Amino acid sequence: MKTITSPSHKGKSYRALRSARRQVPFYFMMGPGLIFITILFYIPMAGVLIAFKDYKARDGILGSPWMDPLFKNFEFYFKSDAAKTVTFNTLFYNLIEAVAVTLCALALAILLSEVKNKFVSATYKGSILLPTFLSWIVIQYIFFSLLSVDRGIVNSTITSNGGEAIYWYSEPSYWRIIMPIAYLWKNVGYYSVLYVAAIAGINTDYYEAAQLDGASKWQRIRYITLPLLSPTIIVLSLLWVGKLFNGGLGDWNGFYTLPNDAGALYPATDVIDTLVFRSLKKINDYGMASAIGLYQAVVGFFLVLISNYIIKKKDPDSALF
């Protein structure tokens, strides 16, 4: 039986084809990024099989035997004496950093948006953004020059004023404050630039109308800037939520290098990633490391789904998807 295609259907197909042809240059522009993401993020996902196998490099992923029981690789973390400590530290630092970075980045972005001189504004932005490009190794040396017991600037100042030197690298309690400060200093500039860009996209007519109505500077920020920034804040917050179980949003090497990997500081600086990294160095158990990575990814995935669902119920337009 011959299928009859309606003229309207042909018209829609033709318009869709024309639209696709117009987008071809953009597809080519998007191609390198898609290839990069596919190679570095999607293809390696096949490696999650290692979490369920007794992985041997000579046998490869497919040739290595399955674990018996299947979830034996996960037992290392859940039965570890340090599991509770590193889980608490991971959540503690990520929550503190999420709140501190968001509030400070918002405040900086609002202040920067009030600077009208372009040269001064660019200087401030560059100065604030500079630490973002520093590696944690460089930051480690900066903090060591400040906190070293015998040659550190802080202890030199304390002892010159009659005080006693503080052993920063022996007392874990200090690092509950030092680690968030270091992360805030390194990353607040990056997030403030994102909020500055969002503020720049706000129509100036709102501010002019509010100024004509006699609104103060604070009232314009409270009733115009912050409400219009809420979609950006929500999206970035959802990204934070998805990485709550990662050491410092992927900056786990900061937790490893900044305290000089001092064993005395583990109760305050050890997170899930550093525990896995050190264990992998010592026992070369790839299956265990993959299992913990899979556990972190799955938990983060469900946290994003749950957070997005709650936001979607409250305000559908602000949801990520």
Domains of the chain are: 79-318 (1.10.3720.10)
pLDDT tens, position by position, 111-140:
988 888 888 888 888 888 888 888 888 999
pLDDT band at 7 (very low <50, low <70, confident <90, very high): low
Q: Report the distance separating Cα 30 and Cα 117, nearest Å.
A: 36
Q: What is the pLDDT of residue 35?
A: 93
Q: What is the pLDDT of residue 247?
A: 57
| Mean pLDDT calculated for residue range 137-154 | 89
Calculate the alpha carbon distances from 22 to 9, 13, 15, 27, 34 in Å.
20, 14, 11, 10, 19
Please give, one letter per residue, the 3-state secondary structure of 241-297.
Answer: HHCCCCCCCCCHHHHHHCCCCCHHHHHHHCCHHHHHHHHHHHHCCHHHHHHHHHHHH
Candidate from 15-24, 118-127, 198-207, 257-266 with smallest mean pLDDT: 15-24
Residue at token pair 């100042």? 157
Q: What is the pLDDT of residue 106?
A: 92
Is the Cβ–Cβ distance between 275 and 80 less than 8 Å? Answer: yes
Candidate from 39-53, 95-109, 172-186 with smallest mean pLDDT: 39-53
pLDDT tens, position by position, 296-312:
888 888 888 888 888 88
Q: What is the pLDDT of residue 108?
A: 92
Q: What is the pLDDT of residue 174?
A: 92
Looking at every residue in the chain, the average pLDDT score rounds to 84
Is the Cβ–Cβ distance between 272 and 247 less than 8 Å? Answer: yes
Q: What is the pLDDT of residue 195?
A: 92
pTM over 0.75: yes
Smallest CA-to-CA distance from 197 within 104, 319, 105, 317 is with 105
* CB neighbour class for 216 (10 Å; exposed up to 12, middle 13-18, buried from 19): exposed
Percent above pLDDT 90 for the chain:
12
Q: Is the pLDDT of residue 1 over 50?
A: no
pLDDT band at 248 (very low <50, low <70, confident <90, very high): very low
Contacts of 75 (CB under 8 A, 6+ apart): none
pLDDT band at 73 (very low <50, low <70, confident <90, very high): confident
CA 263, distance to chain mean position in Å, is 26
